[in-house]
Amino acid sequence: MKISFTEKENKVIFRLDDIDEKYFQVLKDCYYQPAGKSYCKAFPKDSRDLPIIQHNFSLHADAMFGQAGHFLPVSWEKALSEFIERLDESEINWWLVGSCAACIRGIPIKPHDVDIMVDSKDIEKIHHRFLDCIVEPIIDTRGWVTKDFGVIFLHARIDIASDPQPAADIPAPSDFGPYAKQHLETVTWKGLKIRVPPLHLYLNTNKQRGRFERVNLIEEYLAQNKKS
């Protein structure tokens, strides 16, 4: 795919052209909007360190979207391990959500990315520690289900979100909402202690999204652990 960047008023546009049609749904799922034969995503023009982020995006876009569509292997374990290593002694408050939070319990789900929640007060520290691999600016969403959102690529895509908003728990508590944040559990994975939401919340999220294959895997895991 061909990558370019343009400016329009107070926005900078990340533009993708010459795209194989197998990527169309992947890009839509990543919130890129079709514009003729292109797919585009806009970010504030005043986002910090845009030249570096644009360079990172150009380097990693093919791998990131290839993994998102499961056209390439997803190195989520390597990504999560290095993410944790980079945060060593940082005192940054973070927790793992989404499919990887189920995988580290031993549920055989195939993630396409790693989902990390943090506190908004630590966004500056995250930006500094991961500037070499930020591929989409970490910005204030101004009304989405989290306060901030951005993307890094460190062997795999890692979504960074902060301060879950009440809307994330409508119509029922999700694995990434305020309720989950207040009820985190600790799972040991490869000798590392990682905070994750209760598994029944991830079950809720997948039921709401109609991901029934994952629902079955989670229910099987819960049933087995209830017996033991």
Q: pLDDT tens across 33-66, in order?
A: 999 999 999 999 999 999 999 999 999 999 999 9
Model confidence, pTM:
0.95
What is the pLDDT confidence band of residue 227, given thresholds at 50, 70 and 90?
low
- Note the pLDDT of residue 124: 95
Residue 228: pLDDT over 60: no
Q: What is the pLDDT of residues 169-206, one digit of tens each?
A: 999 899 999 999 999 999 999 999 999 999 999 999 99
The full set of domains in the chain, from first to last, is: 72-227 (3.30.460.40)
Convert the pLDDT of each residue in 101-158 to its tens digit: 999 999 999 999 999 999 999 999 999 999 999 999 999 998 889 999 999 999 999 9
For 65-110, the pLDDT digits (tens) are 999 999 999 999 999 999 999 998 788 999 999 999 999 999 999 9
- Encoding tokens for residue 28? 């839509």
| Contacts for 91 with CB less than 8 Å, ≥ 6 apart | none
